[in-house]
Chain A
Amino acid sequence: MRPGWAVGTDRWGTSGGYTEVMQSAEPASQGPANRESPEADRHAISSDPLDPAAVAASVSSDAKGALTTFIGLVRDHNAGQRVRWIDYEAHEPLARRVFARIGREARDRWPDADLAIHHRTGRVAIGEASVVIAAASAHRANAFAACRFAIERVKQIAPVWKHEHFDGGAVWIEGATADPDDEAALRTAMERACS
Chain B
Amino acid sequence: MLVTVRLFARLRELAGRAEIPQVLPENATVRQAWDAVVHECPSLAAYGSSLAAAINADYARFTSPLKDGDEVAFLPPVSGG
Which residues of chain A have a CB within 8 Å of any CB of chain B? 16-18, 72, 88-91, 93-95, 97-98, 119, 130-131, 151, 154-163, 172-181
Tell me how far the C-beta of A78 lies from the nearest C-beta in chain B, rounded to whole angstroms. Answer: 11
B-side interface residues, number (CB < 8 Å): 21
Apart from the given pairs A90-B8, A131-B80, A176-B77, 8 other A-B contacts in the complex at a CB distance below 8 Å = A89-B9, A90-B80, A94-B54, A159-B54, A176-B78, A178-B52, A178-B75, A178-B78
Are A161 and B52 in touch, CB under 8 angstroms?
A: no
Are B52 and A179 in touch, CB under 8 angstroms?
A: yes
Cα-based distance from A160 to B80 in the complex (angstroms): 5
Tell me how far the C-beta of B7 lies from the nearest C-beta in chain A, rounded to whole angstroms. Answer: 10
Q: Show 30 A/B contacts (Cβ-Cβ < 8 Å), sorted by A.
A: A17-B79, A18-B81, A90-B8, A90-B80, A91-B6, A91-B75, A94-B58, A94-B59, A94-B73, A95-B80, A97-B58, A151-B81, A154-B81, A155-B80, A158-B81, A159-B52, A159-B73, A159-B80, A160-B80, A161-B79, A161-B80, A172-B9, A172-B10, A174-B78, A175-B77, A175-B78, A175-B79, A177-B78, A178-B78, A179-B52
Q: Chain A contacts of B45 at CB under 8 A? A: none
Tell me how far the C-beta of A145 lies from the nearest C-beta in chain B, rounded to whole angstroms. Answer: 18
Cα-based distance from A159 to B80 in the complex (angstroms): 7
Which residues of chain B have a CB within 8 Å of any CB of chain A? 6, 8-10, 12-13, 50-52, 54, 57-59, 73, 75-81
Cα-based distance from A33 to B71 in the complex (angstroms): 42
Cα-based distance from A72 to B81 in the complex (angstroms): 6
Which residue, of B6, B50, B54, has the highest number of chain A Cβ atoms within 10 A? Answer: B54
Q: Chain A contacts of B78 at CB under 8 A? A: 155-161, 174-178
Cα-based distance from A155 to B8 in the complex (angstroms): 16
